Homo-oligomer: A and B are copies of this chain.
Amino acid sequence: MPHKHVKEMEALKEHLGKHQLKLTRQRELILNAFLRQEHITAEAMYHQLAKADPHLGLATIYRTLNLFCDAGLAQARHFGSQTKYDNVSHKGHHDHLICTGCEKIVEFENEEIERLQEEVAARNGFTIKNHRLELYGLCSSCRH
Chain B residues whose CB sits within 8 angstroms of the CB of A21 once the complex forms = none
- CB contact under 8 A between A126 and B100, given known A110-B116, A113-B113, A121-B135: no
Question: Does A138 have its Cβ within 8 Å of any Cβ on chain B?
Answer: yes
When the two chains form the complex, which single residue of B78, B120, B137 contacts A121, counting CB atoms closer than 8 Å? B137
**Using a CB-CB cutoff of 8 Å, which residues 113-143 of chain A contact chain B?**
113, 116-117, 120-121, 124-140, 143
- CB contact under 8 A between A126 and B139, given known A120-B97, A132-B133, A134-B132: yes
Question: Does A23 have its Cβ within 8 Å of any Cβ on chain B?
Answer: no
Chain B residues whose CB sits within 8 angstroms of the CB of A113 once the complex forms = 113, 116-117, 120
- CB contact under 8 A between A138 and B127, given known A97-B120, A108-B120, A110-B116: yes
A129 to B142, CA, bound (A): 13
Question: Does A10 have its Cβ within 8 Å of any Cβ on chain B?
Answer: no
Q: Measuring CB to CB, which residues of chain A are less than 8 angstroms from any residue of chain B?
A: 78, 97, 99-100, 106, 108, 110, 112-113, 116-117, 120-121, 124-140, 143
Supply 17 further A-B pairs (C-beta < 8 A) apart from A116-B116, A131-B135.
A97-B120, A97-B126, A106-B124, A108-B124, A113-B113, A113-B116, A113-B117, A120-B135, A121-B135, A124-B139, A125-B139, A128-B135, A128-B136, A129-B138, A131-B133, A132-B134, A132-B136
